[in-house]
C-alpha cells in the first residue's frame, strides 16, 4: 500500500470513470478501497479523430437512403391520378399563412424531415416582411442549405399542387435550384419479373422429359364425373345416434359408490 501511495504522489494522476479512454494504462484500486473509480497514470492524451473521408464513407454505406439514391427503394404506387400524390420518397412544399412563410421536406410516410420558417427568430429579424416574394426566396435558400447538410439532393416538387405561375412559388423554386437541389427524384429501378417456361412452344418430347409422371398421370386418370357411385360409396342419409343406455350407464359406473350412499340415506 505504501508503494502504491508513493507511485500516486510521483506521477500526475486523475480519478476518472472506468469507461474513460483518455489514458494509456490504468491501475484499478476498486478491490482495495471499494470505490467505483479507477486511477489512471500518465499524461492526458487527445482522442484520435477519424478521417473525415473515412467517416463519410462509413456513414454513407450505413445510410438507409442509399437504396433511394440508387433507385432500388420501392415507391408507393397507384397515386398517379390522385391528389395529393404519394409516389415519391421526399417532397418539398411551400406553406404560406397570413403572417409566415414555411418551406419543408416531407417523407412519403408524412414525417417532416427538414423545416425552415420565418417563425424562427434568426430568420425573421433579417427580413422586411415574412409573407412577400423575398421571404419565399430566402426560405428556399435556407432550405436548400439544410437539405445539403442532411444529404437530400434529389427532391420531388409537385407542380400541380403548387403551380409555378405564382410569383412566390416560382421564387421559392428558383432558390432551391440555385442552392444545388435537384427537383427530380431518380427513377425507380423496378426489378424484372422472373421468366417462366413457355409451355406452348415445347414439343411433346420436351414436355414428357420435363414432367413425365404428371403427363402419364393425367392420361391414365379416369373421368370421375362419368362413373356413377357404387352403392357402398353412397353417403349415409342421416347420422346414427348412440343408444341412451350407453350415454347413461357409462358415467354411472364411476359413481356407483356415491349412488349407493344416496339410496341408503333415502331409505
Question: Could you read off the pLDDT of 148-175 as tens digits, one per residue?
Answer: 888 888 898 888 888 888 888 999 999 9
- Phi, psi (rounded to 5 degrees) for 74: -75, 145
Residue 103, judged by CB atoms within 10 A of its CB (0-12, 13-18, 19+), counts as buried
> How far apart (Å, rounded) are the C-alpha atoms in residues 6 and 20?
24
Give me the mean pLDDT over the 116-145 stretch.
90
Least confident piece of the model among 37-41, 101-105, 211-215: 37-41
Decide if 112 contacts 104 (C-beta within 8 A). Answer: yes
Confidence at residue 191, expressed as pLDDT on a 0 to 100 scale:
78
Reported confidence tier of residue 198, pLDDT bands at 50, 70, 90: confident
What residue spans define the domains of the chain?
2-41, 90-178
**Residue 29 to residues 2, 6, 19, 43, 90, Cα–Cα distance (Å):** 13, 14, 15, 19, 55
Give me the mean pLDDT over the 229-233 stretch.
59
Give me the mean pLDDT over the 5-30 stretch.
40
Joined grid coordinates for residue 5: 501511495
In this model, does residue 234 exceed pLDDT 80?
no
Tens-digit pLDDT profile for residues 56-74: 444 444 566 677 777 778 8
3-state SS, one letter per residue, for the chain: CHHHHHHHHHCCEEEECCCCCCCCEEECCHHHHCCCCEEEECCCCCCCCCCHHHHHHHHHHHCCCHHHHHCCCCCCCCCCCCCCCCCCCEEEEEEECCCCEEEEEEECCCCEEEEEECCCHHHHCCCCCCCCHHHHHHHHHHHHHHHHHHCCCECECCCCCCCCCCHHHHHHHHHHHHCCCECCCCCCCCCCCCCCCCHHHCCHHHHHHHCHHHHHHHHHCCCCCCCCCCHHHCCCCCCCCCCHHHHHHHHHHHCHHHHHHHHHHHC
Closest CA to 40 of 8, 9, 77, 72: 8
CATH of 90-178, one of 3.40.640.10, 3.30.420.80, 3.40.50.2030, 1.10.150.110: 3.30.420.80
Give me the mean pLDDT over the 86-100 stretch.
88
Amino acid at each position: 500500500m505504501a508503494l502504491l501511495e508513493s507511485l500516486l504522489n510521483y506521477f500526475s494522476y486523475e480519478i476518472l470513470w472506468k469507461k474513460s479512454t483518455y489514458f494509456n494504462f490504468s491501475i484499478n484500486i476498486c478491490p482495495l478501497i471499494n470505490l467505483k473509480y479507477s486511477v489512471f497514470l500518465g499524461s492526458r492524451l487527445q482522442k484520435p479523430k477519424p478521417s473525415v473521408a473515412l467517416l463519410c464513407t462509413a456513414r454513407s454505406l450505413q445510410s438507409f437512403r442509399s437504396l433511394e439514391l440508387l433507385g432500388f427503394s420501392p415507391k408507393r404506387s397507384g397515386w398517379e391520378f390522385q391528389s395529393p400524390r404519394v409516389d415519391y420518397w421526399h417532397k418539398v412544399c411551400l406553406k404560406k399563412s397570413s403572417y409566415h412563410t414555411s418551406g419543408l421536406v416531407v417523407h412519403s410516410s408524412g414525417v417532416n424531415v427538414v423545416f425552415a420558417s420565418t417563425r424562427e427568430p434568426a430568420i425573421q429579424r433579417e427580413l422586411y416582411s415574412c409573407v412577400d416574394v423575398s421571404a419565399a426566396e430566402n426560405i428556399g435558400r435556407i432550405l436548400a442549405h439544410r437539405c445539403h447538410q442532411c444529404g437530400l439532393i434529389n427532391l420531388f416538387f409537385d407542380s400541380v399542387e403548387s403551380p409555378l405561375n405564382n410569383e412566390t412559388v416560382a421564387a421559392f423554386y428558383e432558390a432551391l435550384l440555385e442552392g444545388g437541389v435537384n427537383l427530380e427524384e431518380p427513377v425507380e429501378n423496378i426489378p424484372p419479373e422472373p421468366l417462366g417456361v413457355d409451355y406452348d412452344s415445347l414439343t411433346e418430347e420436351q414436355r414428357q422429359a420435363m414432367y413425365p409422371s404428371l403427363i402419364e398421370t393425367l392420361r391414365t386418370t379416369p373421368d370421375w364425373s362419368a362413373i356413377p357411385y357404387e352403392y357402398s360409396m353412397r353417403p349415409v342419409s342421416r347420422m346414427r345416434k348412440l343408444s341412451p343406455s350407453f350415454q347413461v350407464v357409462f358415467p354411472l359406473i364411476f359413481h356407483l359408490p356415491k349412488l349407493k350412499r344416496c339410496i341408503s340415506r333415502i331409505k
